[in-house]
A = this chain, B = another copy of it.
Amino acid sequence: MISFENDYLAGAHPQVLQALNNYNLQQEPGYGQDILTQMAIEKLQQVMNCPEANIYFLSGGTQTNQVVIDTMLTKYQGVITVQSGHINDHEAGSIEFSGHKVLPLTSTDGKISAKQLQTYMEAWHVDPNHGQMVIPKMVYLSYPTELGTIYSKAELTKIAQTCRQNDLLLYIDGARLGYGLMSPQADLTLADLAHLSDIFYIGGTKVGALYGEALVFTHNNAPAHFSLALKQHGALLAKGRGISTQFLALFTDDLYFQISQQADNFALQIKAALQAKHYQLFVDSPTNQQFFIMPKQQMTEFQDKLKFNHWSTFDSEHDVVRCVTSWATTAQQVEFLIAQL
């Protein structure tokens, strides 16, 4: 049975495993002091055209979000996100566990707008009770969003401006960054993200790595003693080389971008097939996650040959279904899926 449930079904891209093999027995110091980590940092600074970036390698997305928010904000400062934001709904309350309030805004397509943000901040400022309220200090958004949608350069630029005008940090969760940047609809580059945000991370776990994310403080703005803070959060690996070696491979010869583009292409082929078969899209996504409405009965019929992700209940007869491609998806798998529709 073939699964399209998510983008972390396979291990690592073969070139990534090969890199781990290549450097395997080389003696290296621990805790991120190794030469491979230094090489990966320089490679990423170069690719994102951002020599002043501070870069750290963490083991997963929830951990990265938790550490960033906890070290960049004081406890009485909160983080604004959409209701469907990963940190709000699907990280087991890890932000609140760290002592910070998540401030959710409504959205139908997974995106936040600069105008919505501005309205929120103005209301907060004039609230007569605001002396008893958490101070909004950061905007968290995902690129692409939980619903696969992406921000245009114009949209993100406006959000960044609104953040600066309101003394808000802009943090971008890039768990699926490659799939966003390589969408045919995307007009943003890695360099743009580094320029517009204060902090972001480049997802590895969902884009070719076995584990690991690259966290970027874009303008030499990592908190003081950040490695010590990582250690205290249980987020500093003894063998930092494990993740950095993978990023070194991913950003050599544009591998990260090529495998992302391929996954997007497969997803858009599936999308086209779904539309041709008159399935209703739940949201219009240009990236590797496709959401559509499917009769519950059909979900049941498929279950022996194809696995989709049951995203939510649409109505008594239909479910919202998520179909996800990744760097590991093959043309054969896509053909098989399309043949079943």
Query: Which A residues have a C-beta under 8 Å from some C-beta of B?
Result: 2-3, 5-6, 8-12, 14, 17, 20-21, 23-31, 59-67, 74-76, 78, 89-102, 126-129, 131-135, 205-206, 210-211, 225, 227-229, 231-239, 241-242, 309-313, 328
Contact = CB atoms under 8 A, between A and B. Distances in A.
Contacts of A126: 313
A127 B312 contact: yes
A28 B9 contact: yes
Nearest to A90: B132
Contact of A20 (B11, B205, B239): B11
7 contacts: A10-B28, A27-B328, A91-B132, A95-B96, A96-B100, A131-B228, A135-B228
A92 B96 CA distance: 13
A168 to B, nearest CB: 16
Nearest to A234: B63
A161 to B, nearest CB: 25
A75 B29 contact: no
A93 B67 contact: no
B2 A27 contact: yes
A234 B237 contact: no
A233 B97 contact: yes
A123 to B, nearest CB: 8
A181 B129 CA distance: 26
Contacts of A5: 29
A24 B9 contact: no
A75 B232 contact: yes
A229 to B, nearest CB: 6
B205 A239 contact: yes
A241 to B, nearest CB: 7
A234 B234 contact: yes
A57 to B, nearest CB: 11
Given A92-B232, A95-B96, 7 more contacts: A20-B210, A59-B59, A60-B234, A63-B234, A76-B93, A206-B238, A211-B211
